[in-house]
Homo-oligomer: A and B are copies of this chain.
Amino acid sequence: MTHELIENTFFQYFGNDVLNRADDAAVFSANRGDIAFTTDSFVVKPLFFPGGDIGKLSVCGTVNDLVVCGAEPRYISCGFIIEEGFDKSDLVKVIMSMAYWANEAGVKVVTGDTKVVGRGAADRLFINTSGIGLFKSDLRLGVGKINEGDKVIITGTIGEHGIAVLSKREGLEFESRIMSDCAPLNKMLMNVLDETGGIKFMRDPTRGGLATTLNEIVICGNFGILLEEEKIPISDSVRAACALLGLDPLYIANEGKALLIADASCEKKVLELLRKHAYGRNAETIGEITKDNVNMVRLKTRYGVTRMVDMLSGEPMPRIC
């Protein structure tokens, strides 16, 4: 019965020409050449949080993973693992949210799977989304393209997602108006890629935050990064919540921000394009690539002192690849 409901709900909200063929696999054309392929499982708790829910997160997360590679996100799969007894209206809400955000992002949910497990065998709902993106040109991004003097740009204020989720977690609830920044960045970032030639690298600083992502980048390269603390956009409310909780906003997860490394010559153009977009209004250049201090991320504080920004040891590292 549950399966019938799910099936109907899926087709109702995700209906598109590829999905409706009702085969074991979705079939579509990828004539344009290279494709990008990514996967992510979502286990966020609570399922609904200020500014989003697990469904929105699962679509945006996979869309953003594709676009930061320079690929245009096109097709998404979704795999649901549902705990027996999970509220059906919550499930419908999640599916509607996925459908809404897939439509917003311009991607199609083309194949899916649901498994219902016994009570206690899963915590309500887990979602896996895998995604396929197509490359529009031969342009490829990569750490190998980064050079001394390149600018490090963030598309907006940091820390909102992590703080929004924490604020609703059992045992830790606190009053806050902070909303998750969860958003599909593909339209904004594809526009920047199309209109400027100097983007070297992009990455979405999710789990582990800006500091972790920057450390992952310098580890792979032959350069350092010097940040300017004053330039890093952080809202007053995130700053206050972090002070209250004893957290460093540099390590808090974002779900609607991208880090861009761009040739200095196109810095202005990149910022201009980003700031025109709703998801990039607070874009800022926050640092630059240095030849010295290889493999290190350093931060020039507002008092002129420079300190190291470490990989948070003990922080769960999300990426296996």
Residues of A within 8 A of B (CB): 2-4, 6-7, 10-11, 19, 22-31, 33-43, 45, 65-66, 68-69, 71, 75, 77-81, 110-118, 120-123, 126, 128, 130-133, 135, 140, 142, 203-204, 220, 316-321
- Can you pick out 14 interface pairs between chain A and chain B where the beta carbons lie within 8 Å of each other? A3-B320, A6-B320, A7-B321, A19-B321, A24-B68, A39-B77, A39-B112, A40-B79, A41-B115, A43-B122, A77-B130, A114-B318, A122-B123, A130-B130
A132 CB contact (under 8 Å) in B37, B112, B121, B220: B37
Given A23-B142, A77-B130, output 9 extra A-B contacts at Cβ < 8 Å: A10-B321, A28-B37, A30-B33, A39-B79, A39-B112, A41-B79, A41-B80, A79-B128, A112-B320
CA distance A11 to B321 in the complex (A): 8
**Complex Cα spacing A133 to B111, Å:** 14
Q: Which residue of B lies closest to A122 (CB)?
A: B122
- Which residues of B lie under 8 Å from residue A318 when comparing CB positions? 3, 113-115
Q: How far is the CA of A120 from the CA of B35 in the complex (A)?
A: 38
Are A316 and B116 in contact, CB atoms less than 8 angstroms apart? yes
Give the residue of B10, B28, B77 whose beta carbon is less than 8 angstroms from that of A38. Answer: B77
Question: Shortest Cβ distance from A124 into chain B, in angstroms?
Answer: 9
In the bound assembly, the distance between CA atoms of A316 and B117 in angstroms comes to: 11
A36 / chain B contacts, CB cutoff of 8 Å: 25-27
Minimum CB distance partner of A120 in chain B: B120
Does B25 contact A71, Cβ atoms closer than 8 Å?
yes
Closest 9 CB pairs of A and B: A130-B130, A25-B38, A39-B77, A128-B128, A121-B123, A25-B36, A41-B79, A24-B65, A3-B317
Q: Which residues of B contact A110 (CB under 8 A)?
A: 37
Task: Please indicate the chain B residues that have their CB under 8 angstroms from the CB of A38 in the complex.
Answer: 24-26, 77, 111
Neighbouring B residues of A28 by C-beta, 8 Å: 34-35, 37
- Complex CA gap A2/B37 in Å reads 25
